[in-house]
């Protein structure tokens, strides 16, 4: 994927005027991030809004004792970090590449200019923030109420939210170790859960790739 393709897939960009789009393209910086590298670190000043052009990144944090938690994974085609930009706060989480990735950095000045000049951009942000809130409320619910197999199912289905992660692809390139970070369980337990989900006809498991056969089934598994 290129920056142009990312913008074509972004609802907010489809509503821009030609002049607005030209400025956005000119001011966005595209940067590669190696597997294990950081897009930004907890405590960094907020300087940009991010879009994933290629790869997969995770949003996570760690305590002083070293205990870590992964909030979500962000696949190609998605934008994230708007909350910190709007609040002008330091980053409260780390963003790390789970594989070699390419990330678009929209400067705060460009972000603010779109807020002032684009109604479609404002509508998009309202929906984005609402979807993000729903995602994290659901994550707390799933952690407290669901068994491990269902938590893995929800972690997978959350990566196919059509508003947060727009894509027509029903596959995700993710390893069992990467999925274990997102689900908050061990890699060995993810392996067992995927076998259960595959036997239920919900996913097809290949090396490094998962194909979603029944997205609604994943979303409802274990209910």
Domain that holds residue 85: 3-118
Cross-strand partners of 106: 49
Tell which of 66, 100, 118 closes a domain.
Answer: 118
- 134 in a domain, yes or no? no
Whichever domain contains 189, its CATH number is: 1.10.10.10
Segments in the chain below pLDDT 70:
223
Same domain, 26 and 107: yes
How many C-alpha atoms does 74 have within 13 Å on its Cβ side? 26
Q: How confident is the model at residue 211, as a pLDDT?
A: 93
pLDDT at 144: 76
Q: Is residue 81, in this structure, part of any structural domain at all?
A: yes
What is the DSSP-derived secondary structure letter of residue 46? P
pLDDT value, residue 134: 85
What pLDDT shows up at residue 178? 79
Place of tokens 């949003």: 59
Q: Are residues 23 and 98 in the same domain?
A: yes
pLDDT of 201 reads 95
Proportion of the chain above pLDDT 90, given as a percent: 61
Residue 139 lies in a domain: no
Considering the domain boundaries, does residue 90 fall inside one? yes
CATH of the domain at 75: 2.60.120.10
pLDDT at 37: 96
- Per DSSP, what are the bridge partners of residue 69? 61
163 and 106 in a single domain? The answer is: no
96 and 188 in a single domain? The answer is no
pTM for this model (two decimals): 0.83
Q: What is the DSSP letter of 162?
A: T
| pLDDT digit string, tens, across residues 108-129 | 999 999 999 999 999 999 999 9
Tokens for 17? 């005027």
- Within this chain, do residues 95 and 152 fall inside the same structural domain, yes or no? no
Q: 84 and 173: one domain?
A: no
Do 199 and 97 sit in the same domain of this protein? no
Q: Specify the number of domains making up the chain.
A: 2
Task: Establish if 24 belongs to a structural domain.
Answer: yes
Distance between terminal CA atoms of the chain? 36
Check whether residue 33 and residue 95 sit in a common domain: yes
Q: Specify the pLDDT at position 159.
A: 84
Predicted local confidence at residue 28, as pLDDT? 98
Strand partners, 79: 51
Using only C-alpha atoms, the chain has a radius of gyration, in whole angstroms, of 18
């Amino acid at each position: 994927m290129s920056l142009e393709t990312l913008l074509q897939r972004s609802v907010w960009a489809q509503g821009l005027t030609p002049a607005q789009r030209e400025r956005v393209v000119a001011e966005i910086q595209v940067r590669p991030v190696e597997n294990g590298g950081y897009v930004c670190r907890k405590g960094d000043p907020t300087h940009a809004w991010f879009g994933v052009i290629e790869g997969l990144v995770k949003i996570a944090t760690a305590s002083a004792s070293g205990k870590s938690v992964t909030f979500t994974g962000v696949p190609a085609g998605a934008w994230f970090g708007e909350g910190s930009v709007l609040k002008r706060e330091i980053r409260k989480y780390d963003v790390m590449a789970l594989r070699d990735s390419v990330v678009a950095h929209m400067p705060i000045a460009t972000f603010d200019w779109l807020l002032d000049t684009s109604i479609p951009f404002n509508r998009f942000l309202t929906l984005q923030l609402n979807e993000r809130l729903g995602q994290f409320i659901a994550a707390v619910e799933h952690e407290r109420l669901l068994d491990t197999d269902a938590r893995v199912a929800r972690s997978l289905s959350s990566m196919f939210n059509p508003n947060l992660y727009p894509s027509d692809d029903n596959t995700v390139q993710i390893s069992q170790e990467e999925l274990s970070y997102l689900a908050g369980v061990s890699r060995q337990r993810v392996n067992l859960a995927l076998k259960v989900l595959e036997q239920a006809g919900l996913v097809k498991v290949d090396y490094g790739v998962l194909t979603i056969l029944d997205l609604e089934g994943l979303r409802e598994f274990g209910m």
